[in-house]
Amino acid sequence: MDKKMETAINKQINAELYSAYLYLSMATYFEAEGLEGFANWMKIQAQEEMSHAMKFYNYVFERGGKVELDAIGNPTSKFDSPLDVFTQVLEHEKEVTSLINGLYELALELKDYATQSMLKWFIDEQVEEEDSAAKIVDKVKLAGEKGSGLYMLDKELGGRTFTPSADEE
């Protein structure tokens, strides 16, 4: 594996771990607000991000590279409302999409076909991540931030479960 690609993927591992940490921070906000379904959604999202980090981690080793872990940044823990949280989720997922696209561009530049192939899964995953977050933003806007609509949405989000991808099973 090209050293440039190895370094870039190591940075992505850190970004994925930060994402998991961010979603756990958001879960704590929802737990404190008594919105266990929202908290569940965030905890499942944190699990997904950890699995993404491990997918990159394993890939580096499969290609004969070296994983170098760095300190994980301190995520925000201050949120104004459920809408604020999910608006931040959507913006964060757009940022992650940009990082994945940057990795793909580097793989193209380096003519690293194996990494291009691996990144295809992440590109597709990011489409789903952004879509999911955008839909919840819309639902929170429709439900309102207090009352029965929010209660119903909390129940819906509480039903989310973690499903590992086929290569993780």
pLDDT digits (tens, 9 = 90+) for 71-97: 999 999 899 999 999 999 999 999 999
Low-confidence ranges of the chain (pLDDT < 70): 166-169
The per-residue pLDDT for 168 is: 56
Contact residues for 40 (Cβ-Cβ < 8 A; gap 6+): 27, 157, 158, 160
**Structure-block tokens of residue 16:** 């994925």
**Structure-block tokens of residue 23:** 């979603």
φ and ψ of 111, to 5 deg: 55, 40
The per-residue pLDDT for 161 is: 84
pTM: 0.92
Give the range of the structural domain holding residue 15, as residue numbers without chain letter.
Answer: 3-168
The per-residue pLDDT for 147 is: 82
Count up the domains in the chain and report the number.
1
Contact residues for 78 (Cβ-Cβ < 8 A; gap 6+): none
Domain holding 145: CATH number? 1.20.1260.10
